[in-house]
Amino acid sequence: MTQNIDKIEKVDFLHLLVEFIRFIKKQLLLILVCITIGLGMGFLYYSQQPPLFKTQMSAFSSNLTSEQIVDLMQDLSRLFKERDYLQIYQKSNLSESTVKKVASMECKPYVSLETLNRVEDDQKLDQIFLVTVEVKDVSMLDSLEQGILYYIENNSYVKKRVSLNLVGIEKEMEKVENEIKDLETLKFQMQNLLKSNQNKSNLFLSDMGNISSQIIALYQKFSSLKYSRQFADRDIRIIKNFAKFKKKSSPSLTLSLLGGMIVSLSLGILYLIVKKLMVLLNQPN
């Protein structure tokens, strides 16, 4: 019984295959015409579409997390979509001509929160963010980059955080500088005592060594604070600038040709269905 069912299924499949081959042979000219027209349509679409170039910028925020930056950038992306040139200029200092060349903009964290939870060594990864854009002209990428920085750094909350951070660093530098002076004075006094006292105990020498170590550590801390002070008046530091690629990312020639063929063949099949229906309707009852 099972063998008979298998034979029937094989016969049905072969019958369908034979019918399909007959249909292809019978409509070969129509299929070739549809493919040719489809390729022409696809290429025409491809040649008429403005080229888009996709590129990405990565940056580090000193005062905000990447999630906060993403939330802040959503408003700017929305203004770009709505083409609200006046507000964009007011918030980012970008001209209308620059904005018109931006097809899309997306901001996202460098790492997801799930990945970040597994990172133990460097929690500053949470302050790195990525901005991906598609533009019609790569020559305006420098202006766009500066506009994005202007938009973030001129946010009232960011400006307040930068100001507080700057004051904190300067106070810490002043504190460390005073501690160094105090220890230098103490070291000088102990050296004078050491010169006048012939009995040099191990404990006294140990204290001198400890003070010298503290002074070295404070100088290192002061140097680190001084380095941080150089960047403290700005919130954003660029890690990787927008690359000015010459190869366009879209439209894709392959996808355009494939899309044209699919549309053309679909219209061809629709034509055959309509033709068959017309024949059936015109047949006498």
227-247, pLDDT tens digit by residue? 878 877 788 888 899 998 888
Region 194-216 average pLDDT: 68
Name the helix (H) or strand (E) containing 254: helix 253-282
Residue 132: what pLDDT? 93
Q: How confident is the model at residue 163 (pLDDT cuts 50, 70, 90)?
A: confident
Whether the Cβ atoms of residue 177 and residue 226 lie closer than 8 Å to each other: no
Burial of 241 per CB tally in 10 Å (0-12, 13-18, 19+):
middle
Mean pLDDT, rounded, of the chain = 80
**Amino acid present at 50:** P
**Amino acid present at 135:** V
Residue 1 is given by DSSP the state -
Whether the Cβ atoms of residue 129 and residue 106 lie closer than 8 Å to each other: no
Whether the Cβ atoms of residue 65 and residue 113 lie closer than 8 Å to each other: no
Q: pTM for this structure?
A: 0.63
Q: Is the per-residue pLDDT at 1 higher than 70? A: no
Least confident of 14-18, 134-138, 251-255: 14-18
Residue 285: what pLDDT? 56
Beta strand 236-240 with 53-61 is antiparallel
C-alpha 97: how far from its chain's center? Answer: 23
The Cα 229–Cα 219 span in angstroms is: 15
